[in-house]
Amino acid sequence: MKKKSGADFYSLFIFITELRAKAIIKGGIIHKKVPGIFGARNSVIRARVQLSLIFLSLFWLLPSAMAGANASGPKDFSWADIFIGLAGGLAFFLYGMEKMSNGMKNTAGNKMRTILASLTKNRIIALIVGAFVTMVVQSSSATTVMLVSFVQAGLLNLVQSMGVILGADIGTTITAQMIAFKLTDYALLMVAIGFCLKLAGKTERSKSVGDIVLGFGILFFGMKLMSDAMTPLRSFPAFINLMKDLENPLMGILFGAAFTAVVQSSSATTGVLIVLAQQGLISLEGGIPVIFGANIGTCVTAALAGIGASREAKRVAIAHIMFKIAGVFLFIFWIPQFADLIRALANKFGSGTARQLANAHTLFNVSLGLFFLPFIPVFSKIIYFIYPERETPKSQEITTWYIEDAMLETPSLAIDLARTEMSRMAKLLGRMLNAIIIPFLSDEAHISNKAKPDEEAQLLLKEIPRIDAIHEDLTLLQGLDLREEKIDFLEEKLSAYLTHIAQGTITDEQAEEVFGMVSIVKDMESMGDIIHRNMIPLIAKKKRLRYDFSLEGKEELLIYHGKVSKQIKYLEAAFKETDAKLAHKIMKKERKYLDLESRYRARHLKRIILKNEESMETTEVHLELMDLMKQIVLYSANIAQTYIGTTPETEEEQLETKKETMPS
């Protein structure tokens, strides 16, 4: 067989690396949103299969790298066959792990999220929960990614998650213990049994059991393929010397970390080590540093998951990395003694090197878990010192500005303060409404297409507001997210505050006003939801369209948006000034604005009949956006009606009412 040159390999390696980089950019391994319960697991598996190609391509270099070192090596085997066997075996191994994981999680049901969120208050229980969940999902990386997402969602805090991380490291060793059993000769039998169980199963649970057995069989079949592929290497001195070099702790740790970072599975690294040990290609002293490196390499997934997450979620990734590096640092100086301890335990049971490596993996992680568990509070303080809370500007703080518990004893003053806080809530709504229309009317792609001269296009693009009007350190969408959080917070706090007022000693008139205010607060929160939950998703939908709104359509949306914004401004002023006239004005405008929406809808449909391409392409987004703005008009009118019906008239308003009722 013609040998590949170093230059040939370099070209191949660069090609595979670039291919993988494009796949990452296009597919998006990193998920910024909170994933589903096992969404993290699926992304980890995809990453493993894709990234394995890069590392396995290194074996293509092996013949040219070792040719000079040992020109007299065996000539009765093919490097291409070894590469294919290793690549195919590792692919089967990873697919088997995924199949087994899917079966185990389906058998366990959708309880992992509940278990993680509710049973992690006690550190010892958190350790056990982490081990159990990782045993089910078959990946400490997936468990850590889930933790990052739960912390991001506010379901867990850093201290709770740290106990789970230590448990996850223990849970991942179960896989190594299972694959250390030499069951490769029965792999195809397990595949057959698993397939039959899956085929004959009548319930989802029985089919899931079939998946577990099938996955287990495929996993061991992959190990057999890797083992058979490596058999010729037992008599290849250069490869044997390379394996001996791994006894150097630094070399072993670097190799283990790099391989695990690529396949994103410490279990896969341990599996390959076990195959090497079964072939007599690696010693216990050579395998232990690789195991240490594998524990560091598995942190890559958590680090990727922390990108774009909250600061608290990033601290979870930091904790994972800190535990691993600190643990390796504690063990690296006494690897020979650690190997002797493992060998002494193995001698009692007659275990071979493969089982000894699995035991080393388990003992290392169990020791770390038990050692670090009492020091979790100390570690959390260190992490907060390394990555402290960022000082939030006062205007971005999610807090109340006006309501005070001390005023609850004076209901009239407390009601006034609540009304002022409601005015602030209406102001936040107005700012959300002002910002949300910008992405719909200033799509960068369509502006570039329509503005033919480059200078004109660049000028128009520069004019598009991308930064929040108030908070210059936030983008337009981040500003919307912040105000939605503030409105939700104010709805909760105002409802509780008004309930406390109602539970005190108040007049019937005050009670009616308070209950009306509770209703108004909930309606304003619903208006915020319309903008955040319904309008924001429409932005992405609009960007996917080939056409922009027609000029007439844009004009109608802009005019109607201005009318709706006025209603919110009237609400803000009505609460601030306790002015029922403004509430009456909102109600009078309601009918007018509903009729205007109907006219604009009819015009849009007429453009569709006339086959205006822009109107036809954008009709769904256009009509939905109009309808959502109409809902805000209806809500504002409903708030105004509640306000008029429950707010006591001022002395000036009472005099005007008397004048209107007096006979002329």
pLDDT level of residue 24 (50, 70, 90 thresholds):
very low
List own/partner pairs for 191-197 with CB under 8 A and 24 or more apart. Answer: 191/217, 191/218, 191/221, 192/217, 193/217
Q: Which residues contact 36 (CB under 8 A, 6 or more apart)?
A: none
Q: Give the Cβ contact number of residue 79 at 10 Å.
A: 18
Calculate mean pLDDT across residues 621-639: 94
Q: Which residues contact 574 (CB under 8 A, 6 or more apart)?
A: 580, 582, 583, 586, 640, 643
Report the 3 state secondary structure along 81-127.
HHHHHHHHHHHHHHHHHHHHHHHHHHHHCCCHHHHHHHCCCCHHHHH
d(CA 580, CA 566): 16
The residue among 9, 27, 23 whose CA lies nearest residue 52 is 23
> Does the pLDDT value for residue 426 go beyond 90?
yes
| DSSP tag of 443 | -
Q: What is the pLDDT of residue 520?
A: 95
Calculate mean pLDDT across residues 517-531: 95
Calculate mean pLDDT across residues 631-635: 95
> Does the pLDDT value for residue 391 go beyond 80?
no
Range name among 77-81, 193-197, 245-249, 643-647 with the lowest pLDDT average: 77-81
pLDDT level of residue 180 (50, 70, 90 thresholds):
confident
> Does the pLDDT value for residue 578 go beyond 70?
yes
Q: What is the pLDDT of residues 147-176, one digit of tens each?
A: 776 776 666 778 878 888 888 888 888 877
Helix, strand, or coil here: 494?
helix
Contact 290, 246 (CB under 8 A): yes
d(CA 50, CA 16): 10
Cα torsion through 328, 329, 330, 333, rounded to 10: 100
Token output for 640: 């105004």
Q: What is the pLDDT of residue 10?
A: 38
DSSP H or E segment with residue 431 = helix 411-441
Calculate mean pLDDT across residues 345-366: 85
Q: What is the pLDDT of residue 441?
A: 81
CA angle 338, 343, 349 (to 5 degrees): 140
| Residue 153, CA distances (Å) to 33, 45, 112 in order | 9, 23, 16
Residue recorded with tokens 């169990």: 366
Q: What is the DSSP string of 515-530?
A: HHHHHHHHHHHHHHHI
Contact 239, 280 (CB under 8 A): no
Q: What is the pLDDT of residue 484?
A: 93
Q: What is the pLDDT of residue 486?
A: 93
| Average of per-residue pLDDT values in the chain | 77
Q: What is the pLDDT of residue 31?
A: 38
Token output for 126: 């958190």
Q: What is the pLDDT of residue 346?
A: 82
Q: What is the pLDDT of residues 434-457, one digit of tens each?
A: 999 988 887 655 554 554 455 544
Calculate mean pLDDT across residues 571-575: 91
pLDDT level of residue 40 (50, 70, 90 thresholds):
very low
DSSP H or E segment with residue 7 = helix 6-27
pLDDT level of residue 15 (50, 70, 90 thresholds):
very low
Q: What is the pLDDT of residue 445?
A: 54
Q: What is the pLDDT of residue 112?
A: 55
Q: What is the pLDDT of residue 101?
A: 67
Q: What is the DSSP string of 234-258?
A: GG-HHHHHHHHHTTSHHHHHHHHHH
Range name among 195-204, 323-332, 579-588, 616-625 with the lowest pLDDT average: 195-204
d(CA 566, CA 558): 13
Calculate mean pLDDT across residues 400-407: 87
Prediction pTM value: 0.53
Q: What is the pLDDT of residue 279?
A: 77
d(CA 8, CA 269): 27
d(CA 407, CA 400): 14
Cα torsion through 162, 167, 170, 174, rounded to 10: -140
pLDDT level of residue 234 (50, 70, 90 thresholds):
low
Q: What is the pLDDT of residues 481-511, one digit of tens each?
A: 999 999 999 999 999 999 999 998 888 899 9
Q: What is the pLDDT of residue 59?
A: 45
Q: Name all domains of the chain by residue range, CATH numbers in brackets.
A: 6-64+77-386 (no CATH), 407-661 (1.20.58.220)
Q: What is the pLDDT of residues 649-660, one digit of tens each?
A: 655 555 554 554
Calculate mean pLDDT across residues 533-554: 89
> Does the pLDDT value for residue 119 go beyond 80?
no
d(CA 274, CA 602): 72
Residue with more model confidence, 570 or 456: 570
Q: What is the pLDDT of residue 358?
A: 87
| For the chain, percent of residues with pLDDT exceeding 70 | 74
d(CA 247, CA 156): 40
Q: What is the pLDDT of residue 259?
A: 82
d(CA 295, CA 284): 17
pLDDT level of residue 603 (50, 70, 90 thresholds):
very high
Q: What is the pLDDT of residue 641?
A: 93
Q: What is the pLDDT of residue 69?
A: 41
Calculate mean pLDDT across residues 359-387: 88
Calculate mean pLDDT across residues 594-612: 93
Q: What is the DSSP string of 14-40?
A: HHHHHHHHHHHHHH-S---SPP-TTHH
Q: What is the pLDDT of residue 115?
A: 60
> Does the pLDDT value for residue 252 go beyond 70?
yes
Calculate mean pLDDT across residues 67-96: 67
| For the chain, percent of residues with pLDDT exceeding 90 | 23
d(CA 426, CA 606): 36
pLDDT level of residue 392 (50, 70, 90 thresholds):
low
Token output for 395: 């205007």
Q: Which residues contact 461 (CB under 8 A, 6 or more apart)?
A: 444, 447, 448
> Does the pLDDT value for residue 13 go beyond 50?
no
Q: What is the pLDDT of residue 27?
A: 39
Left, alpha or beta for 315 (phi > 0: left; psi -120 to 50: alpha)?
alpha
- Residues β-bridged to residue 187: none
Kindly calculate the radius of gyration of the chain based on its CA atoms and give it in whole angstroms. Answer: 33
The residue among 266, 263, 323 whose CA lies nearest residue 290 is 266
